[in-house]
């Protein structure tokens, strides 16, 4: 029996809830997937979290999970997609330290960093309670959306919507003069 056939057999057992079969698939592919993702993301902890997310998704959706290629191809394509999504998201996310660096390097040298920090904090404080909590978990704690959703017992879409809502409200609060930060 070749690897593709073995994987399909193990995947069928996983669909039936077989934890041993799942562990065999996990043990076979965890390290190769980590090595592959490390080519994109040069952070071992982030890479391992992303690979674990792939396997968590498979386990949580085992009854309805279907693949149209080989299991190995599915895993590596998922790893590639997660890597690229992570890099895109990382590019969009600015920390307060990065905002301060932008101010120092920009034409807005006269703008006090403390004033902007205070305005941002005030904007965050004005958010609705749940929206503020989700935003702070995402930006301050750097938690991924699926972890926030699990922690707060919400759907990932709800978390994404609340983060979008928070960013829009912060932009509106700061006004046009600060929109390039958000």
Check which CATH number belongs to the domain holding 40 and give it.
1.10.1740.10
Q: What is the CA radius of gyration of the chain?
A: 21
Q: What is the pLDDT of residues 51-110, one digit of tens each?
A: 999 999 989 998 888 887 788 888 999 999 998 888 888 777 656 566 556 555 554 444
Does residue 102 sit within a domain?
Answer: no
| Average pLDDT estimate for 27-32 | 91
Q: Tell me what pLDDT residue 3 has.
A: 83
H-type helices in 93-143, by residue range?
96-105, 113-125, 129-139
Examine the domain organization and report whether 89 and 151 are in the same domain. Answer: no
| pTM (two decimals) | 0.51
Residue-level pLDDT at 180:
44
Sequence-distant contacts of 20-23: CB under 8 A, at least 24 apart:
22/55, 22/58, 22/59, 22/62
Domain membership of residue 19 (yes or no) is yes
The verdict on residue 103 lying in a domain is no
Q: Tell which residue, 117, 119, 120, 101, has the closest CA to residue 109.
A: 101
Q: Which of 94, 123, 147 is the last residue of a domain?
A: 94
Residue range 108-115: average pLDDT? 50
CA distances from 177 to 109, 111, 153, 174 (A): 14, 11, 37, 7
Give 123's Cβ-side CA count (13 Å radius). 21
Is 99 domain-assigned? no
Full domain range(s) for residue 137: 109-181
Write the CATH number for 142. 1.10.10.10
Looking at the structure of the chain, the number of domains it has is: 2
Q: Based on the fold, state whether residues 88 and 115 are members of the same structural domain.
A: no
Q: Could you tell me if 88 and 160 lie in one domain?
A: no
For residue 101, tell me if it sits in a domain.
no
Region 31-46: mean pLDDT is 89
- Which of the 8 DSSP states describes residue 111? S
Co-location of 31 and 115 in the same domain = no
Q: Is residue 148 domain-resident?
A: yes
**pLDDT tens-place string over residues 141-176:** 888 999 999 999 999 999 999 989 988 888 888 775
């Amino acid at each position: 029996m070749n690897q593709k056939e073995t994987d399909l057999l193990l995947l069928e057992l996983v669909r039936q809830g077989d934890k041993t079969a799942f562990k065999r698939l996990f043990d076979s592919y965890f390290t190769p997937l980590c090595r592959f993702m490390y080519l994109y993301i040069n952070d071992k902890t982030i890479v391992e979290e992303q690979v674990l997310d792939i396997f968590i998704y498979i386990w949580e959706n085992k009854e309805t999970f279907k693949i149209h290629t080989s299991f190995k191809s599915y895993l590596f394509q998922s790893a590639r997609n997660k890597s690229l999504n992570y890099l895109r998201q990382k590019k969009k996310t600015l920390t307060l330290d990065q905002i301060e660096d932008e101010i120092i390097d920009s034409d807005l040298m006269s703008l006090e960093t403390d004033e902007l920090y205070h305005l941002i904090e005030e904007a965050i404080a004005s958010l609705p309670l749940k929206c503020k909590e989700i935003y702070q978990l995402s930006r301050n704690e750097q938690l991924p959306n699926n972890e926030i959703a699990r922690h707060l017992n919400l759907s990932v879409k709800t978390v994404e919507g609340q983060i979008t809502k928070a960013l829009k409200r912060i932009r509106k609060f700061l006004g046009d003069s600060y929109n390039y930060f958000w």
